[in-house]
Every structure is written in C-alpha cells, then in structure tokens.
Chain A
C-alpha cells in the first residue's frame, strides 16, 4: 500500500501506487466472475454488440475508482476500429468530465485526453505494449500519465488495466495533489539546499534517506573537505578525527547530544572538537547542529584564534602572578635573609667551636656529637626557609588540590612573620577547628594570603601603630572564610573598590598589584572577596573559598 508520509524524491509512479487500484479491481473481478454467467445483459450506455451486463455496470458504477471499460482485448490495439469505449463510471466522469458519449472510441479518448500529438503517441504506444503483457499476465503495469480533462485542466493520473470477461477494465488514480505536494517538498528542499549552499558559515547536512552528506562552499573553504572528500558522515568522522581514540571520544560526545536534541526538539548542543583539516592542520572547532525534518544541519565555528587568545591571556596572567610573587618575596627578602642567617650562623659557630675542640686532647667526643646534632638541625631549618621561598617562586599552570587551611597558614606565616616582627607589627592568628580542606592551587593560595598579610602589615606601618589579625572560619557548609584585618586606618569612604584596581597604591613605592592579584586568584578559585572598610580605623578583607568537596561536585555537574 502506498505510504502517504514518504518523502522520497523520486519522480514516476511506484509499483505501490498501482497496486492499490489493481487490488481493488482484482477483488471486483473475482466477485463478478461468480455472477457473470447468471445474468442477462440489460440496458447499457454502450451500443453495439458488446455491452456490459447491468450487474457488471452496477458494480463498476459503485466502485470508488474512476473506471472505464473498453472493447479492446489483448488482441486489438488502439487503432482497431473495434476499440470502443463501452462504459465509464460516474467517478470517471467526475474526474475527467467525459462520459461514454464524448469518447465512443479509444481514439476519441486519446485525442481529447492527450491533445499533444507527440505525447499522445507516446501514451498509445505504451498502451499497445501493455496489451501484449495483458495477454500473458492478465494485467498491465501502472503508468503515470498527464490527462487533459474536458475543462482543460491537466491532471496527473496513474493508469492500470486488467482484463475482465474479454474486456479491458481501466482504472485511473488522480495523483495530482500528491504530485503537487511532492513537488512542493522537493522545491522547499531545493530552496533549503540553496540557502545552505549560499550561507557564509560552514554548514553540512545529511541528505534524506541515507548517510550521504552535503557541504556548503564555506565548509570546504574552512576545512578543505568538499562533498567528494567526505561523501558520507562516516567519511567525515574518519578524516576529521584521524586518531581512532579521539574519534571514539568525539562520537561518545556527539551521539548523545544528537539523541537529546531529537528528544527535546532543540539544538545539538555546541561542543569543542579538534578537527583535522584536509591540509593536515588541526583546528579548535565548535560544532553544533539544528534539526530540520529528519536531517541535521551541522554548523562549524572556528574557535582556534579565540582559544589561542585565551591561552595567551592565561599565560600572561600566570606570568604576572609570578612577577608579583617575586616582588612580594623581594619585599620580604631582607627579613627572610635574616631568618636564614640564624641557622647558618649557628652552623658556622658550631663548626668553629668543633675546630677548636679538636685541637684539645683528649678530644671531647660528647661535645662534638652535640655539635653535629645541632648542625644537622640548623641545616634543616635553613633548608625549610629556602624550600618555602622556592615553592613560592614556582611557575606553572593552575594545579588544584584539596588543601587543609592549616597547612596554608603554616606555609605562609614563616615567610611573613620575620618582616612583621622587624617592623613591629603584631599578628594574631586564630583558626576554627574542623575546617574542611579547600580546593586550591597551593602556590596561588599562598600568594593570596601573603598579599593580604603584607598589605595589612604595610598599612599598620604607614599609620605608625596598629596590629593585624588573621581569622579562619567556616562559611556555610561548603566554604571556608579567611579574614585579614588591620587597624591601619582604612581608606576614605568610597575608595574600597579602587584599591582592587591595578597600579593604585597608598604606599609611596608601592606597585599596586597586590590586591588586584588577590581578586584574580579569588576569581580563579570560584571564591568571593568582600571588603569591610572603616575609615579611621582599618580594613578587613574577607576571602571565601569553596571547600574541596563542594567545588568538585560543582565541576562534575557541568
């Protein structure tokens, strides 16, 4: 049976169409065959020797198919004088406007139905060839034909015929509307193709009914592949993603997105893929899709430059942070050098003492042993200071780890305390117990806290008196708040946001990068920064950072 929803783009009738009519006729023929012998011919429109029995005519009349009956049998072509039209049913007349009186012979029918001579000849020749087939099989093939009606309208019709009682029963099926719809669809598909072809962005789409794809000029211009290079989707996947493992990954991402789009009727969500172009270059491409009927229009957007620019920005940020860390360490260097001179000085004195003791006799081995133990310990002490400095000067991309805040404080205090002690700035530290670890880059977290403490300390020094306090406590279930307060006099009301800007400094030789870097680091860690400014009294900087568990959960959901 025909499938009305089919959007095949083929011209010409398919076997399925004629089969419907033929099936119906076949059923009628079987029915009539049983009654044929029992009935006498009654009045009939056709004149002459051949006429239909009233009952046959009655049945044919009531069939819901436009029908005509001719005297032509398998042995007589359309030219035969006996090629008379014996009967037409009402539907025939409704469809074509002709009745049996208008078209007494097949020739008359042909002249009116096919006014164009050449076309008529074509149709009648087909008819004759089918008559031969009739002889063998009892039925003809179906043929699509353009028939001109009485009123001059041209209809697309499918004709089928079969023999019944030595006569030919011809059935007609009007497929004009079907054809119009199909042509309209083909037209719109062509229009879509034209639009896609002309679009300035790289697009590709799968042709209906298969795996063949079409690509537009912009697509070829972008990645070098023409339709000949990637005739099917498979070819695209093979060539764009030559590495089998990466290809598997791409498919694992792409196919579920297509599924989701089909379910929700929306877009195939954009994702970034590394596409290998025809010339071998690999580009970062954002690929998304739009559903159109049962095909997907796929769009490519080249993000290579943008990705590269983002990478550059990231590198520059990292460089800047490194420079600032070095500057920070420079500020602390004098005090840190002093820190180093303690253990190194002790090692030196111990070694000198050992030298003198060795000149005595007997040698005091116990004393020497004590000296060696002390030297060992002081060496470790010096090493620890150097390790802290070296760690802070490390360069590299962001590397997040679950970090206990106590460890952060233990890393930072020894770096900043000597300078604060020298400057006479008291520091009070208090931490809540049972704090969850934060998800942070170790070096950046140190830089953040160091900057806050150094800033606070410098404010106190500028003012001449005051103190700094560091408080760490829980902030909601899944975050930790680090608050650094100073009584360094604060800044004028309204300047709170300005101090986060680069190159703004209240110190005569200040670089003004400390707080901007703090803001950047807070942002990179998905944290938040709040400033409590009390002009005349001091400032408290509150940094809230997500706990490791929560941050990982958020990351997993995206």
Chain B
C-alpha cells in the first residue's frame, strides 16, 4: 500500500493548500483538523508520516508527536508552524521531531522533508519487521540458553560464563551447542550479529521480554551438575 502523508492543522485553509501541493507532487495525503481526528483514523498501522502544526487547541503538536512515538505505529512526525522562533524549534526537535519547518518554507524544502520522512518510515518498518522475526527465532531458546548467549555476546569464555552463572563449564558447552543448533548458526560472530539484529542486549537475554514459544525448553541430555 502506498504510504500516506497525514496532515494535521486546525487551519482548514492551510491544511487544504498543503494537501494540494503534496498531491500535485505525487504524494497521497489525508487531512485532519485536529490531533484527535488523526489519532482516531482508520487503518492506523499503515505506512506514512505525519505533518502537524505546533499550535492547536486541545492536543498540541508536541503532545501529538509524543503519542505517535509511543504508539504501535510510530510514524515520523514533522512540524510545520507559523511560529518561526528558535526556542520553539529547539523544543520541537528535542521532543523527537523528525524535522521542523515553517509554514513559509519554500516548496522544495517541504517536499524534500516529506520524502526523507517517508524513506525513514520505510527503513524503520523494515527494521522492525526484521527485529520481530529475529525475536521470534530467539523465542525458541530456554532461559539457561539465553543466559549463556548473553555471555557469549559479551565475549566471555565458557569458563567465565560458567562462573558467572554458577554452573559447570561443560554445562555451558552443552547449552552453547544447543543454542547454535536451534538458531541455525555456526560461529560466535553470527550469534553476535543475530543478537544485535534482534536488538537484544545482555539484559534482554536475562529478561522476560522475549516471546518464547513451546520449543523454549532446555535441550534434552542436559549433563548433571
């Protein structure tokens, strides 16, 4: 599906003119005259970006940006505002805005910013998808296997991992073999790469944030301690 540029501004005339410009430049747009209207939109998980005014009654642009960032579909948010003062722009960028434009910015800047935002959205979507896949893969590991993985990712020797976890070295080796088999990798480098892709830190390995399926049990044949 084509990405949608969502335009949010309580000034009807401006939002209509901006939509016209973007449509004429080949983008697909939707317009909303309030943040609430935008947040309640159908198809809220589609690709795209948000262009919003800073100053709106009820929910402001900054609030909107915060909510979007925290949502399941964190689209990039650009601010377009009539206020061109520095404190405002600094505040907006600090808040995590993708970009900050004035309402009088030249057409080229606006189109370029929207293009960049859509590109970023595409990239991030892909990354999220990849991360989700990788996380699913790690879900088959048991907790002990994850613990060992954490040590491996940190570059620890088996002996060190064993000491850290309070288990025998050969148990560590056992878990290592099992996890490499489950993950379908052969080298530490690959393991580390995968882990990084999944966005896992050593904390994640110990944590409960992983989605673990029914196969997440220790492998059979665990040596006795």
Contacts of B124 in A (CB 8 A): none
- Binary contact track A174-218/B, C-beta < 8 Å → 1, others 0: 000000000000000000000000000000000000000000000
Beta-carbon contacts under 8 Å, B85-99 to A? 85
Question: Which A residues are in CB contact (< 8 Å) with B107?
Answer: 348-349, 352, 355
Q: How far is the CB of B78 from chain A (nearest CB, A)?
A: 14
A338-B83, A341-B82 known; A348 vs B11 contact (CB < 8 Å)? no
Q: What residues on A are CB-neighbors of B84 within 8 Å? A: 341
**In the complex the two chains form, is B13's CB within 8 Å of A343's CB?**
yes
Docked Cα-Cα span, A347 to B103, in Å, equals: 10
A345 at the A/B interface (Cβ < 8 Å)? yes
The one of A345, A349, A381 in contact with B20, judged by C-beta atoms closer than 8 angstroms, is A349
A350 — nearest CB in chain B belongs to which residue? B17
Whether B57 sits at the interface, judged by CB under 8 Å, is yes
**B182 an interface residue at 8 Å Cβ cutoff?**
no
A-B contact count (CB 8 A): 76
Q: B residues within 8 A CB of A339?
A: 82
Asked if B24 lies at the interface with its beta carbon under 8 angstroms from chain A, I say yes
Nearest-neighbour CB distance to chain A for B56, whole angstroms, equals 9
User: Known pairs A343-B13, A349-B17. 16 more at Cβ < 8 A?
Assistant: A334-B83, A337-B82, A338-B82, A338-B83, A342-B11, A342-B13, A344-B104, A346-B13, A349-B20, A350-B21, A352-B24, A353-B20, A356-B21, A356-B24, A422-B55, A422-B83
CA distance A342 to B14 in the complex (A): 6
Q: How distant is B67 from chain A, measured CB to nearest CB, in Å?
A: 19
Binds B, one of A153-161, A305-313, A370-378, A393-401: A370-378
Encode B146-190 as 1/0 by CB contact (under 8 A) with A.
000000000000000000000000000000000000000000000
Which residues in A have some Cβ–Cβ distance to B below 8 Å? 334, 337-350, 352-353, 355-357, 367, 371, 374, 377-378, 381, 421-422
Query: Lowest 4 CB-CB distances: which A-B pairs, in order?
Result: A345-B103, A341-B82, A349-B17, A356-B24
**Residue B16 lies at the interface, judged by CB distance under 8 Å to chain A:** yes
Q: Contact between A356 and B82 (Cβ–Cβ < 8 Å)?
A: no
Docked-complex contact A356 and B25, CB < 8 angstroms: yes
> Which residues from chain B sit less than 8 Å from chain A, CB to CB?
11, 13-14, 16-18, 20-21, 23-25, 55, 57, 82-85, 102-104, 107
Q: B residues within 8 A CB of A342?
A: 11, 13-14, 82, 103
Among A334, A341, A349, A355, the residue within 8 A (CB) of B18 is A349
In the bound assembly, the distance between CA atoms of A486 and B83 in angstroms comes to 27
Q: Return the contact of B24 from the options A348, A357, A378, A421 (Cβ within 8 A).
A: A357
Tell me if A371 and B20 are in contact (CB < 8 A). Answer: yes
Q: Which residue of A lies closest to B9 (CB)?
A: A342
Residue in chain B with minimal CB distance to A357: B24
Docked Cα-Cα span, A381 to B84, in Å, equals 20
Contact of A348 with B82 in the complex, beta carbons under 8 Å: no
Docked complex Cα distance between A432 and B13 (Å): 32
Is the CB–CB distance between A346 and B57 below 8 Å? no
Chain B residues, Cβ within 8 Å of A422: 55, 83
Chain B residues with CB under 8 Å of A378's CB are 13, 17
List the B side residues contacting A371 at CB < 8 Å: 17, 20
B16 & A374 in contact (Cβ 8 Å cutoff) = yes
Cross-chain pairs A/B with CB under 8 angstroms, 14 sampled: A339-B82, A343-B14, A345-B104, A346-B11, A346-B13, A346-B16, A346-B18, A348-B17, A349-B21, A349-B107, A350-B20, A356-B25, A377-B13, A378-B17
* A334, A340, A374 — most chain B CB neighbours (10 Å): A374
Chain B residues in 8 Å Cβ range of A344: 103-104
Assess whether B24 is in contact with A374, with CB atoms less than 8 Å apart: no
Q: In the complex where A346-B11, A374-B13, A422-B55 touch, is A341 in contact with B103 (Cβ < 8 A)?
A: yes
* A355 CA to B108 CA, complexed, in Å: 12
Contacts of B13 in A (CB 8 A): 342-343, 346, 374, 377-378, 381
State the CA gap A377–B13 with chains docked (Å). Answer: 9
Q: Which residues of A lie under 8 Å from residue B57 when comparing CB positions? A: 421
Contact B17 A374 (CB under 8 A): yes
CA distance A355 to B107 in the complex (A): 11
Give the Cβ gap from A402 to chain B, nearest Cβ, in Å.
35
Question: A345 touching B14 by the CB < 8 A rule?
Answer: yes
Q: Which B residues lie within 8 Å of A340 (CB)?
A: 82
CB distance from B19 to the nearest CB of A (A): 9
CA gap between A373 and B23 in the complex, in Å:
18
- Chain A residues, Cβ within 8 Å of B85: 334
CB neighbours of A367 from chain B (8 A): 20
Q: Are A349 and B14 in contact (CB under 8 A)?
A: yes
Interface hub of A347, A349, A353, A374 (most chain B Cβ within 10 A): A349
Select from chain A the residue with minimum beta-carbon distance to B25. Answer: A356
A334, A353, A377, A421 — most chain B CB neighbours (10 Å): A353
The interface residues of chain B lying within 8 Å CB-to-CB of A334 are 83, 85
User: A346 contacts B83, CB within 8 Å?
Assistant: no
Q: How far is the CB of A69 from chain B (nearest CB, A)?
A: 124
Within the complex, the shortest CB–CB distance from A544 to chain B, in Å, comes to 33
Nearest chain A CB to B73's CB is how many angstroms away? 27
Residues of B contacting A356 in the complex (Cβ-Cβ under 8 angstroms): 21, 24-25
Task: Kindly list chain A residues whose C-beta atoms are within 8 Å of the C-beta of B55.
Answer: 338, 421-422
B residues within 8 A CB of A347? 17
Q: How far is the CB of B216 from chain A (nearest CB, A)?
A: 51
By a CB distance below 8 angstroms, the chain A residues around B104 are 341, 344-345, 348
> Which residues of B have CB within 8 Å of A381?
13
Which residues on the B side are within 8 Å of A341 (C-beta)? 82-84, 102-104
Q: Closest CB of chain B to A157's CB: distance in Å?
A: 110
Distance in angstroms from A300 CB to nearest chain B CB is 64
B24: chain A residues within 8 A (beta carbon): 352-353, 356-357
Inter-chain contact B83/A352, CB cutoff 8 Å = no
User: How far is it, in angstroms, between the C-alpha of A338 and the C-alpha of B24 when the chains are bound?
Assistant: 26
Bound-state Cα–Cα, A109 to B107, Å: 134
On whether the beta carbons of B21 and A353 are closer than 8 Å, the reply is yes
Of chain A, the residue at the smallest CB distance from B55 is A422
A510 vs chain B, min Cβ distance (A): 21
Q: How far is the CB of B220 from chain A (nearest CB, A)?
A: 65
B54 CB to nearest A CB, Å: 10
